[in-house]
Amino acid sequence: MATKIRTKTANGETEILVRIDHPMEDGRRLDSRTGLRIPQHFIQKVTFSLNGKEIAVADIGSAVSKDPLIKVKVRGAKAGDRISIGWSDNKGSAGEKEIVI
């Protein structure tokens, strides 16, 4: 599962936009072939860090759509700073991505 990060800085504020490729199943949908429910599979936590210091945590659940797009704004970030995004889901999968502004 891929994690994509984009940043945009204006007026001393940096917008961090993250898209995580993830199926985000809520456990209610039926498989059209078998008629059985598709098991829950969703992201539980997304962590945002700036230069190794945690700046935001999003606790999300099964109500979030497939391939979620999450935006965070931070003040004081500048060119050369490192932004790290980490996530984990209810089945033990996890991902991490780091970029330099």
Provide φ and ψ at 87, rounded to 5°.
Answer: -140, 160
Give pLDDT, residue 49: 97
Give pLDDT, residue 1: 73
Q: Per residue of the chain (101 residues), what is the pLDDT tens digit?
A: 789 999 999 998 999 999 999 999 999 999 999 999 999 999 999 999 999 999 999 999 888 999 999 999 999 898 999 999 999 999 999 999 999 99
CATH number, span 3-100: 2.60.40.10
Please count the CA atoms within 13 angstroms of the CA of 16 that sit on its side-chain side. 28
- The SS3 of residue 30 is strand
The torsion of the CA quartet 89, 94, 95, 96, rounded to 10 degrees, works out to 100
Give pLDDT, residue 82: 97
Per the CB < 8 A criterion, the answer to whether 29 and 37 are in contact is yes
Please count the CA atoms within 13 angstroms of the CA of 32 that sit on its side-chain side. 0
Give pLDDT, residue 76: 87
The domain locations on the chain are 3-100
Give pLDDT, residue 27: 92
Per the CB < 8 A criterion, the answer to whether 49 and 55 are in contact is yes
Give this prediction's pTM. Answer: 0.87
